[in-house]
Amino acid sequence: MTGKVAPGSRELSEFYSARTGWRSGGEERMRFRKAAALAHVPAGAAVLDIGARDGGLRGFLPSGVKYQGIDIAPEFSRPDVLIQDISKGIPFPDGAYDFVFCIEVLEHVPNPYGTLGEIHRVLKPGGVLILSVPNPYHFKELVWNVFRIPDRQGHIYGWTRQTMTKLGEMNGFRLERFGGTYLHPPIPIFALLARSIVYRFVKTPPMQGRGVKSSATKCRSPGSATPRPGGKPSPTAARWSRPRGLPSDSWRRPPSCAGRLGWSAGCAARSNSSSCTRTGGSPAVSALGSLAGRMS
C-alpha cells in the first residue's frame, strides 16, 4: 500500500482482493492446528472467524459448531462468510460468540486497538479470543529488516509477547497461554523462533471504577482525628477510639477501617473531608491502606 489509505476504503479492499491467491497450504494448516489446540472449542459453541478467507479453519474445529466467518475480500463471499472490513466495526450483537479467531489479521488492521474492543464486545462473558500475529524475532523478519526489504503483504504493526499482552489487557482480556506455530513448514518450533505466535486470551469481567467493587460503605479517612461534639457518647461509640497524646475530646475511626478493603483513589484525594467512600481495591492498595492505619 502506498499513499494515504483510509480505514474502510475501497483501496484497502482492493489491496487484499489482489492477494487472495497469496497463500501457503502448509502454513495455514499448521496455524489452524495450533490455534484449535489452544482453543479447545466444544461442540455447539458459537465461533467467529475473522479473516476467514474460504473458511479453512472450520475443518479443524469440532462438528456442530455454529461457525461464522468474516473477510474483507469479496472473492471469499459464501453463506457462512460475510464480506465486511472490520476496521469499520464488527456487525454482530454484543455477547454473540463463545470463541473468536483472528489468525494473521490484526497486523493488517489500521486500528488494532479498536478492533480488539469490537472483539471484546461480541464475545460472551468468559469468552475466548485466539489471536495469531507474526513473530518479530523470526529469521524472515530479521532478514527483511536488515536488508530493508519492503513489505508487500500489508503488515502495518508488529508486537512482542509483552506488547501484545498489554494491548489485550487494555481491551479487557487476560492472556492465559501462547505458543509458536512453525519455523518453516513442516517444522514445528517453540515460540521464540516461530514464524507466528498464537495467543489465547480470555474476556475478563468489566471493572467498576478501575477494578473497584461497587459495594461501598461510608468510612472516615485513615488516621483522621475528629472531635466528638461535646465529648458525649454517640450510638456508634464502639466504633470510635481516642488516640494517645491527643485531647480527651478528639476521636477517630479505628485503623482497621482503612486496612480491610483499601481506599479508592477519590477517597485519598479527599482525605480532608469528613466522609469517604471505602471500596474494594487491589491488594497493593489494600496493603497501603492497612499500613496507613497502623502508622496513624
Residue of 232, 219, 207 lying closest to 259 (CA atoms) = 219
pLDDT single digits (tens) 160-182: 999 999 999 999 999 999 999 98
CA distance 73 to 32: 20
**All domains in the chain, ordered by first residue:** 10-203 (3.40.50.150), 217-295 (no CATH)
Q: Does the N-terminal peptide bond of residue 283 adopt cis geometry, omega within 30 degrees of 0? A: no
Q: Tell which wins on pLDDT, 13 or 251.
A: 13
Whether the pLDDT of residue 275 is over 70: the answer is no
Whether the pLDDT of residue 183 is over 50: the answer is yes
Please report, for residues 95, 134, 222, the alpha-carbon distance to residue 159 in angstroms, rounded to integers and kept in the order given: 27, 8, 43
pTM of the model: 0.65
pLDDT single digits (tens) 99-158: 999 999 999 899 999 999 999 999 999 999 999 999 988 788 778 778 888 877 778 898
pLDDT single digits (tens) 234-254: 444 444 444 455 445 444 444
* pLDDT mean over 277-292: 42
